[in-house]
Chain A
Amino acid sequence: MLPLLVELPPLPTLRDTAFIMPEIILTLFAGAALVLDVALPRSKKHLTAYFSLIGLAFVAIALAQQVAMTASLLPISAFYGMLFIDGLSVVFRFVFIVAAAFSILYSIKYLEFEREQRGEYYALILFSTLGMMFVATSGDLIALFVSFELMSLSVYVLVGYFKRDKRSNEAAMKYFLTGIFSSALMLYGLSLVYGVTGHTNLGLISETIAGYVQGGTAESGDPRLLLMVALVLVAAGLLFKIAAVPFHMWAPDAYEGAPTTVTAFMSVGPKAGAYVLLARMLLFALAPMREMENLPGWAALLAVVAVLTMTVGNLAAVTQDNVKRLLAYSSIAHAGYILLGIVSGTDMGYQGVAFHIMTYTLMNTGVFAIIIALHRQGVIGENLNDLNGLFSRAPSAAVLMLIFILGLAGIPSTAGFVGKFFLFGSLIQSGKPWLTYIAIIAVLNAVVAFYYYARFARAMFLNAPSENIADASPLLLAPSVRITLTLSAIAVLFFGIYPQPLINVADIVAQSITTVYAQSSGIALR
């Protein structure tokens, strides 16, 4: 054997591997779901769904155990800085697991009805969740990008899952093309970041850029302009993923054409994954570029985008009659609200971001679960008119829907209000006058949003039932779905009245953003 020409670094140890135990379990279950699908006869395929749910439960247990063992050690870095676990990764991995579990639970009946019950569907949701979990635990550009692609590619396939449905095909094509385009943009930006800083480790990038931003002199070089170009490219890619204006055009089409269960999943899971990537890039790697001397930083850029996003999203939602399109525009508007918390740059803002994403997951999956239940023999159930008279036909479903809709609108005593309060309040708390103006625009936007959310309530409670619906079979929720929906609704109300427990959780995220990231060199290469 020839002697090695390069020095061999120490190999990853068992300690490193222990940190990715939840992800390993998830991978095993996703693979096993594929095998199980082949083994099961056609009438038993839905068992894969329950198997996947059990898998997610195991992942949650492994994650809880990891948290219990390592809570005092956070932040942890392993695998040569590729893996980086902090408060943000812990909280958001739980959010992803909940989003995936809800989506799987609500999908079972729907796929049965569409005669598309297959194990691959659930395996793809698990793979996508795996990608999200790795996004939340990556401390390196390479790992971040690869895991983000794992997440997105699974969703592209899921959007086109009804391959004999024209709309599903069209949506998948649009989503795929815009998605890979935005990935390419982001990758180009990331390559520039690597070129300028010479690092792929987020902590080292942050450290290097901080040096450039503070002492941009002739001796140390001044690549800030080049970093600006990189920042614009990275931000464009990221804003594409969260469907912020002006990169939002794909969202309504993709949401409308995708199978409704997939729409429910992609509006919470991959969306939250994209927010985590945004936070990692802007609040960690490129954090020193928030505000720069003589140059605009990303705070100004993001503020403009946030205002545009919520205004365009809310105004466009007003005229929609298709519920899925309406919710797509509503999710665009919510992306605008969430960006506000990042713009404000205060503890309160970050708490608001985490709080809002957590409660949004509950409320949005809840709304979609009812829409999915409306989809029955001969009824597509996607038009706002299909909700007409829901209260007289299925009172409990209508009341649950009302709670989720009020939550999305941000009515006081729902969790949606607390999230919005934190997000808008952080702008005023930051003490900068221009942010106060943005807060006023945001409140006006929330008022516009009341209108289209109120249309749901009017259709359900005041309008007479449409005739074609009256002929259809009665609306039935499976017991498991009913229990989950009731629990989500109770959570939405409970955290609206007594939000402190969830605020404490959100504070873990805010703390890890403000304190851990401040000492970023701590996660440098091991």
Chain B
Amino acid sequence: MLLVGWEALFFWLLTLAALFAAVFTVSAHNPVHCALFLISTLIATAGLFLLLRAEFVAGAQILVYVGGILVLFLFVLMLVNTRSEVENPFNRQDKVGAFIAVLVGLALLGAVTYTQQRGGFFKTKPSADRLAIENARPDPNAPAGVISADTETLGVTLYTRAVLPFEIASVLLLMAIVGSVLLARDRRQEETYD
């Protein structure tokens, strides 16, 4: 799928926004700024999901991550005094880390360029999942107001193909709750419950 016209423009804008905001997230001195930059990254990613016509995922991204998790982050950061730890967000290994990151990035870029020159991707038979997504995609020439099948595809997949990982993830969440309570409660709370 090649992006043309406005889609290409928005793709590059959103990608660059996401990337730069991600870099600022790790390099900003003030933790509140870090969280705000992370919000920018997530919103830009939501925009990328929209370009892929995954409206539901984009909406969920904004509702859950930006609206829920990041707002909690900000609350915690503002309640806890983090001033002592913001002097220098880098340590002695920043140069090595940057070098390795650049190396991996260049390797990826080179591999992608080479692959495109040699004939690109997806010349094999697409999988059932991919076909379902392709088929569910609305006709681009259809008039506005047509219901997208995206949400339905996701729901159906979640309860058929992905039902096993879905259930494992539910156990994972239960375990995470138990673990965080175990680590967070203090001696007095422990004695009350014992």
Binding site for B on A (CB under 8 A): 2, 4-12, 20, 27, 31, 34, 38, 41-42, 79-80, 82-83, 118, 120, 123-124, 127, 130-131, 134, 140, 142-143, 146-147, 149-150, 153-154, 156-157, 160-161, 163-164, 195-201, 204, 208, 211, 216-223, 225-226, 228-229, 232, 525
- Contact A9-B110, Cβ < 8 Å, known A146-B165, A208-B124, A226-B115: no
A45 to chain B, nearest CB (A): 8
Chain B residues, Cβ within 8 Å of A198: 122, 124, 126-127, 130
Q: Which residues of A contact B132 (CB under 8 A)?
A: 6-7
Tell me if B145 counts as interface (CB < 8 A to partner A).
Answer: no
Give every chain A residue within 8 A of B159 (Cβ-Cβ). 11
Interface residue? B156 (CB, 8 A)? yes
Give A254 to B20 CA distance when docked, in angstroms.
Answer: 35
Task: Report chain A residues within 8 Å CB of B162.
Answer: 82, 142
Contacts of B180 in A (CB 8 A): 157
A199 smallest CB distance to B (angstroms): 5
In the complex, what residues of B have CB within 8 A of residue A229's CB?
Answer: 104, 107-108, 111
Asked if B64 is an interface residue, CB under 8 A from chain A, the answer is no
What residues of chain A lie closer than 8 Å to B149, measured between beta carbons?
5-6
B48-56, B65-73, B169-177: which lies at the A interface?
B169-177
Let me know if A221 and B178 touch, CB within 8 A.
no
Given contacts A127-B175, A199-B127, contact A228 B111 (CB under 8 A): yes
Residue from the list B128, B130, B152, B175 in contact with A4, Cβ < 8 A: B152
Of the candidates A143, A164, A196, A200, the one whose C-beta lies within 8 Å of that of B164 is: A143
Contact A225 B183 (CB under 8 A): no
Chain B interface helix/strand/loop/mixed: helix
**Given A6-B132, A6-B136, A221-B122, is A130 in contact with B163 using a C-beta cutoff of 8 Å?**
no
Nearest Cβ in chain B — how far from A289, in angstroms?
A: 14
A154, A200, A218: the one contacting B118 at CB < 8 Å is A218
Q: Count B interface residues, CB 8 Å.
A: 50
A residues in contact with B168, CB < 8 Å: 131, 134, 143, 146-147, 150
Could you tell me if A123 and B178 are in contact, using CB atoms closer than 8 angstroms? yes
Known A123-B178, A134-B168: A6·B135 in contact at CB below 8 Å: yes
Q: Are A225 and B165 in contact (CB under 8 A)?
A: no
Q: Is B119 an interface residue (CB 8 A)?
A: yes
- Partner of B123 from the list A2, A9, A219 (CB cut-off 8 Å) is A219
Contact partners of A211 in chain B: CB under 8 A: 124
In the complex, besides A12-B163, A80-B161, A157-B182, 7 extra interface pairs with C-beta distance below 8 angstroms are A27-B171, A34-B178, A38-B193, A120-B178, A127-B178, A150-B172, A222-B119
Which of these, A124, A160, A222, contacts B115 with CB under 8 Å? A222
B98 CB to closest chain A CB (Å) equals 16
How many angstroms from the CA of A2 to the CA of B135 in the assembled complex?
18
Given that A5-B152, A134-B168 are contacting pairs, would A42 and B194 also be in contact in the complex, using a CB cutoff of 8 Å? yes
Residue B30 at the chain A interface, CB threshold 8 Å: no
* Bound complex: CA A228 to CA B107 (Å): 10
A217 to B120, CA, bound (A): 11
Q: Is B61 an interface residue (CB 8 A)?
A: no
Cβ of B153 within 8 Å of any chain A Cβ, yes or no, is: yes
Q: Could you write out 7 A-B pairs with CB less than 8 Å apart?
A: A6-B132, A11-B159, A12-B160, A31-B174, A150-B171, A221-B122, A222-B114
Complex: A8 Cα to B136 Cα, angstroms: 12
Q: How far is the CA of A195 from the CA of B194 in the complex (A)?
A: 50
The answer to whether A221 touches B172, judged by C-beta atoms less than 8 angstroms apart, is no
Chain B residues whose C-beta falls within 8 Å of the C-beta of A217 in the assembled complex: 119
Determine the residue in chain B with the shortest Cβ distance to A525: B128
A6 & B156 in contact (Cβ 8 Å cutoff)? yes
Q: Is B13 an interface residue (CB 8 A)?
A: no
Please state if A154 and B175 are interface contacts (CB–CB under 8 Å): yes
Query: Is A225 a contact partner of B115 (Cβ separation < 8 A)?
Result: yes
Docked-complex contact A9 and B183, CB < 8 angstroms: no
Give Cα A54–Cα B147 distance, bound, in whole angstroms. Answer: 53
> Is A200 a contact partner of B129 (Cβ separation < 8 A)?
yes
Q: What CA separation (Å) do A12 and B159 show in the bound complex?
A: 9
Contacts of B161 in A (CB 8 A): 9, 80, 82
Contact B175 A124 (CB under 8 A): yes
- Cα–Cα, bound, A200→B129 (Å): 9
The 6 closest A-B pairs by CB, nearest first: A157-B179, A5-B149, A222-B118, A221-B119, A225-B111, A82-B164
Whether A149 lies near B119 (C-beta < 8 A) is no
Task: Report whether B171 and A154 are in contact in the complex, using a CB–CB cutoff of 8 Å.
Answer: no
Which of A27, A131, A157, A226 has most B Cβ within 10 Å? A226
Tell me the bound Cα distance from A291 to B188 in angstroms.
59
Contact of A221 (CB < 8 Å), options: B107, B110, B118, B163: B118
Query: A153 is contacted by which of B124, B136, B176, B182 (Cβ under 8 Å)?
Result: B176
Give B129's nearest chain A residue, CB to CB. Answer: A200
Which chain A residue shows the least CB distance to B147?
Answer: A5
Instruction: Give the chain B neighbours of A79 by CB distance below 8 A.
Output: 163-164
User: CB of B102 within 8 A of chain A?
Assistant: no
- Report chain A residues within 8 Å CB of B182: 118, 120, 124, 157, 161
Contact of B110 among A42, A154, A225 (CB under 8 A): A225
Q: How far is the CA of A30 from the CA of B163 in the complex (A)?
A: 21
Within 8 A of A (CB), among B139-164: 147, 149, 152-153, 156, 159-164
Establish whether residues B115 and A6, one from each chain, have CB atoms under 8 Å apart when the complex forms. no
The minimal Cβ–Cβ distance linking B146 to chain A, given in whole angstroms, is: 10
B6 is an interface residue with CB less than 8 A from chain A: no
A127 to B130 CA separation, bound complex (whole angstroms)? 33
